Amino acid sequence: MKKLPYLHILLFIFTLFSTLVAGALQKGINLLKEPGRIHEGLPFSLTLMTILMSHELSHYFASKKHHTKATLPYFIPAPSIIGTFGAFIKMKSPIITRKALVDIGASGPIAGFIISVLASIIGLSYSKVISLTHTEGALGLGDSILFSLLSRLILGVTPDSYDILLHPVAFAGWIGLFVTSLNLLPIGQLDGGHIAYALLGERHRYVSKVLVGVLLLLGLFFWEGWALWALLMLILGLRHPPVLYWEIPLDPKKRFIGWLALIIFVLTFIPAPFKIM
């Protein structure tokens, strides 16, 4: 009889609660005075948790498919505007082929991307176009190529003096797309790093070095967080451990999946994710 994964279950429950609180606070609800209104955070919470769960479980099942030992997802609750620092699974055995690298690396971001796009489409249809005069001093969100396109298709082209007040489901979708781009950075051992190493081999190390330099420049001119992200990448290491059976080639399908994931990275990347209006 297998032991219940109590830690994973507890972390999931705590993160569900913390994202529920975050969703309620985003709507301006004072939970100390009106604790009964916490349920109003459900649209944001359930959407974000679904995105994170789909991402991590896709990694997990892809790992199982390739006989790579991996843990169930660890969710990380946090007292932040979104209520979480995300989720992760831990690999407990090496990834042995390039095919496995592509499947494991790409499965999570692609699954999370699909759910995030659906959430963005649904949420944008309930979002509102407002005057910029009503958002002065507020925290603004940057647009990726994809989110900008979706906004224009669903809400129409808006003048420069207007902005979009995102519905909680759309905000969760935006976060999902942003997290997708972070994971798909082709650096080190991120999901994008797995894919780039499978496609490029040792050349992946040079790509990692160049992109860390790019992140530092983005940190200077667009958003300071990129500099911190670059520092984290340097601490974690830019090299990718070799796979055991490099000689097993990638078939065209796996190469297509790998390049598709990197295209998704381009479509979801945001040079300046956060800004003061």
pLDDT tens figures, 227-258: 999 999 999 889 888 888 888 889 999 999 99
pLDDT tens figures, 63-78: 999 999 999 999 999 9
High-pLDDT (> 70) share of the chain, %: 94
pLDDT at 85: 94
pLDDT at 135: 55
Q: In the predicted model, is pLDDT for residue 162 greater than 80?
A: no
The DSSP secondary-structure symbol of 91 reads B
Instruction: Indicate the residue type of 165.
Output: L
Interior angle at CA 235, CA 96 and CA 263, nearest 5: 60
CA distance 197 to 186: 8
Transcribe 224-259 into DSSP letters.
THHHHHHHHHHHH-S--PPPTTTTSPPPHHHHHHHH
Dihedral (CA of 185, 193, 263, 112) sign: negative
